[in-house]
Amino acid sequence: MTFPKCFFASGYAPADPVPISGTTEFNDPNPQSTLVVVSFYKFADFPDYANLRKPLKELCEELRVSGGIILAPEGINGSICGTRESVERVLEFIESDDRLKGLRQVESPVSPEEEAIHHGHSSSSPLAAGEDAPFRWDHVRVKLKKEIVTLGMPSVSPIERVGKYVNPKEWNALIDDPDTVVIDVRNNYETRIGKFKAAVDPCTTSFREFPSWVENKLQVADTNEVNVNLMDGNNDSETESSTPKMPQRVAMYCTGGIRCEKASSFLLSKGFKEVYHLEGGILRYLEEVPKSESRWVGECFVFDKRVSVEHGLAQGTFKLCYGCKQPVSDADMEAPEWEYGVSCPYCYSLKSDEEKERARARQRQFETWGIIGGPDKGRRPTSKLDSSTRYSSQLSSSI
């Protein structure tokens, strides 16, 4: 059977650092002051999750740990950047709650250039806060949400059951087996720049679409086999009878492993028996498996300002379109649809002229003031002069 190609695998340079007193020195030989990015999550029964927000945010701000953290009744999910000592203190604080012990973590290195920007050393950054750093050095977001990863199905609980974890060193043997259906659980803008060889790509635009894709394209047959119907719009009996039947073994992967937790729990609830997922996700695979033995093709999209990483978690080549937050290559930025801060070949036709003009206005604000919204953004407006002062001023100017 021939599958649609959709389903199968096939910026700027920072300025020289300018040391600033009171900050970590560029290329500091002390490993405790070297920056790291740590992504982490833990599913847990956490009904009082909102109580953690204030102390966690205050600790991150005190230690100058940046990034984003999500708290929800089902647990915690985050990615933070800071010195190793500071990041470890934040993680220890989180795990001081017994329900959050055993965080699943993936650590990524930070390049010397990113370290310089992170500490505000780059004079070319309008914010002097690292527009191209993994995260703004002076900003951490701690958000409260209904789910730490949004599937839109509260009944699916990885706390109760998940698929079997497969470590990166055993992953190749599993996906090389022709009886294994390999599924990429990420979205189309992620799979576009990299995926495992021969992986099935659901072509979703959000994780919420995954359950409906499973219902429509990946079904458990009465014969304890899996019907994989990946052809759109073919529901006649002739097509159904020609649909290949595959063994009920599914192996899934995603960026860091969290989406696979929910996806595997969902498949088990639908009657699938053999459900596996890559422990630590693509990031751990790229870190631990040598490139010479790798089944990975391309780069891995990450949800911070690195945009993408390669084998060994080295900085990738993709940049970000700030108009749609999708990864773009050097070739994409040569296309006529590319306009920095406004559009790229993937969003140009989806944006109206009004939307593009608003994006241009935002970009002009950033280039002029270094912050969107102008120099008073986020500050209290200047107090108005009282009537007597205003009168005196007018009188003086008239004289």
Q: Is 105 helix (H, G, I), strand (E, B) or coil?
A: strand
Torsion of Cα atoms, 106 then 112 then 114 then 115, to 10°: 90
Do residues 306 and 328 touch, judged by C-beta distance below 8 A?
Answer: no
Tokens of 188: 């189309």
Give the position of tokens 């390049």: 111
DSSP tag of 269 = H
Is the alpha carbon torsion for 341, 347, 348, 351 positive or negative? negative
Distances in Å between the Cα of 217 and the Cα atoms of 20, 169, 178, 188 are 56, 30, 19, 16
Instruction: Tell me which H or E stretch contains 194.
Output: strand 194-196
User: What are the strands of the beta sheet with 164-166, ordered from one edge?
Assistant: 164-166, 274-278, 249-253, 181-184
Q: Looking at 60, 254, 300, 321, which residue is catalytic?
A: 254
Do residues 71 and 105 touch, judged by C-beta distance below 8 A?
Answer: no
* DSSP bridge partners of 226: 220, 246
Taking each helix axis from N to C end, the angle separating 281-288 and 168-176, rounded to the nearest 10 degrees, works out to 100
Whether 203 is catalytic is no
CA distance 185 to 199: 10
Do residues 300 and 257 touch, judged by C-beta distance below 8 A?
Answer: no
Tokens of 62: 């005190």
Tokens of 310: 């390669």
CA distance 259 to 8: 20
List b or e across 96-113, with b for residues whose CB sees 16 or more CB atoms inside 10 angstroms. Answer: ebeebeebbebebbbeeb
Give residues with Cβ within 8 angstroms of 131, minimum separation 6: 117, 125, 305
CA distance 304 to 132: 9
- Residues marked as catalytic: 254
